[in-house]
Amino acid sequence: MKDKSISSLFTDIRVLIALFVAFRLCLLFAYQPFLLEGQAERGAGVGGDRAYHYALTSLVGEGLLPFRDWWSEFPPVWYIATSGVYLFLGQNVAYESWSLVLGVLMIASEVGILFAVKRLGTRLHGASVGFALGWVYALLVAPAVFMWWNFDSWVTCFALWAIVALLESRPTRSALWVALGALTKFVPLLWVGALVRFYTPRQALRYIGVVLGVVVLAYAPFFALNPEFSLISLTAQFNKPSYQTVWALLDGNYTTGNFGSVESHLTAEGVRDGVLDKNPAVIPSVLRLGVALALGAWIFWRVQRRDALGVVAFMGITLNLFYLQSQGWSPQWLTLILPLLLLVFPTRNGVLVAVMLSILAFVEYPFIFIRTGDTEGVLLPTHPLFNTWVLIVLFRTFILGAVCVAFYQKLRQQPNPDLAI
C-alpha cells in the first residue's frame, strides 16, 4: 500500500513556510550582523551593501534627511524605510539592531516571493508544479544570501505580485505593485512592455497612467524639498561607468559597481566621484540601448504565444535583454531572473541553469573580488584570477543570451487555451 504521508507532507504549505522562515531566522540569529570597530562587517550581511546603507541612513541621526540633505542612487522607498527604522529605534542606533530589523523585513519579502512563485506556478502549470516550484525556490541558495546583501528581495516581491495581479485580471492592483517596485528600483517598469503587447491599447494606457501617476505623486514632495538631489536619484544609475560585464572588459574597468563614499552623497558634485577614475565607454550606452530596443521590437512583433505563459516569458526576455545591454552587472539581480526562469521552464534544465548562474555569481563575488583588497577593489590583469573572472563574465553573458533564445522559442509557440488572459 502506497504511503501517502510523504506526498501530503510536501504539499502542506504550512510545512513549506515553517521551514522557509525558520531557516532564514536561524541564519539571522546564528550570524547576527555587527560592525567590528565601526567598519568591518561581520554576520549574515558580510560581503553585501548593508553596512554602506547603514552609513548613509545614520545621517538621519544628525538631522540629515534623504533627498532633502543627501542624494541617493536609488528611488525613495528603500532609504525612507531604512530611515524610518532608524528613527523608530531611537537616536544613535547600533548597526546590529538596525540590521536585525531589516533582516526580518527581508524575510517577510522573501515569504511574499515564495507565495508568488507558488501561485504563479499553479496558474501556469497546475497545483503540483506550483508546489514543486515553491520547494525549488526555498532550496535555492542565491536568494537566501542576497536578501542579506541588498534590498532586491523587495523589488522581486513587488514585481512578481504585479504579475500575479495582472494574470488574475486585476490590472489596477498590478499597476500599483509595479509603481511600488519602481519606487524601490526602476526594473519593474519593464513590465509595461508586456501590457502594450498583450493587452488592448486602452488597458495599456490606463495601466501606464496609474503607474506614472503614483510615481509622479511620490516624487513630488522630494522635488519640492530638493529638486537637484531628487533628479540625481533618477539619473545616477544611468551615469555609472561599466562594471562586471563584457562592456567593462572592453572599457578596461575591472571593478565592481560601488558608487562612492558617504560624504560624496552630501553634494551634487559627489555623484561624479565614482566615475572620475573609470574609463569611458568604448561602445556608447545609446548604441547598446538602441540595439536592444531594435531586437526587442523584432521580438515584439513576432510573438505568437498570447497567453499567461507568454506574458511571463515576454517579461523574462525583456528583463534579460535589459541586463545584457546594461553597462553593469550585480549578482543580486538574479533575485528576479531566477523566479522568471523557473516559472517559464519548471524543468530539470531550468533548475540546472538557475544553479549554474548562482555558482557563477558567487565565484565572481565574493570569491574573486574579495581578493582585491590590496588594490582597492580593482582586479588587475596581473592578478592570478583575472583570466578566470574574464571567463566567468563571458560565460554568464552567454548563458543569459541562451536564456533569451529559450524565452523567444517559448514565445513562438502556439498559445494554450487553458492559459487565456
- E strand or H helix that includes residue 297: helix 285-302
Q: For the chain, what is the domain count?
A: 1
Predicted local confidence at residue 211, as pLDDT: 97
Q: Of 71, 83, 80, 75, nearest to 270 (Cα)?
A: 71
Predicted local confidence at residue 6, as pLDDT: 59
Predicted local confidence at residue 1, as pLDDT: 44
> What type of residue sits at position 381?
P
pTM here is 0.95
Q: For residue 210, what is its C-alpha cell?
A: 496609474
Q: Of 361, 367, 375, nearest to 277 (Cα)?
A: 375
- The CA distance from 102 to 360, in Å, is 27
Q: Of 399, 306, 404, 299, nearest to 355 (Cα)?
A: 399
Q: Which domain holds residue 398?
A: 5-419
Q: Of 71, 37, 47, 67, nearest to 262 (Cα)?
A: 71
Predicted local confidence at residue 377, as pLDDT: 83
Residues of the chain with pLDDT under 70: 1-6, 37-39, 273-277
Q: For residue 364, what is its C-alpha cell?
A: 565572481
What are the φ/ψ torsions at residue 255 (nearest 5 degrees)? -150, 180
What's the angle, vertex CA 170, arms to CA 190 and CA 293, rounded to 5?
15
Predicted local confidence at residue 263, as pLDDT: 85
- The CA distance from 123 to 67, in Å, is 40
Q: For residue 101, what is its C-alpha cell?
A: 530589523
Map grid coordinates 534623504 to a residue.
66
Predicted local confidence at residue 274, as pLDDT: 58
When computed from its CA atoms, the radius of gyration of the chain, rounded to whole angstroms, is: 21
What are the φ/ψ torsions at residue 419 (nearest 5 degrees)? -110, 25
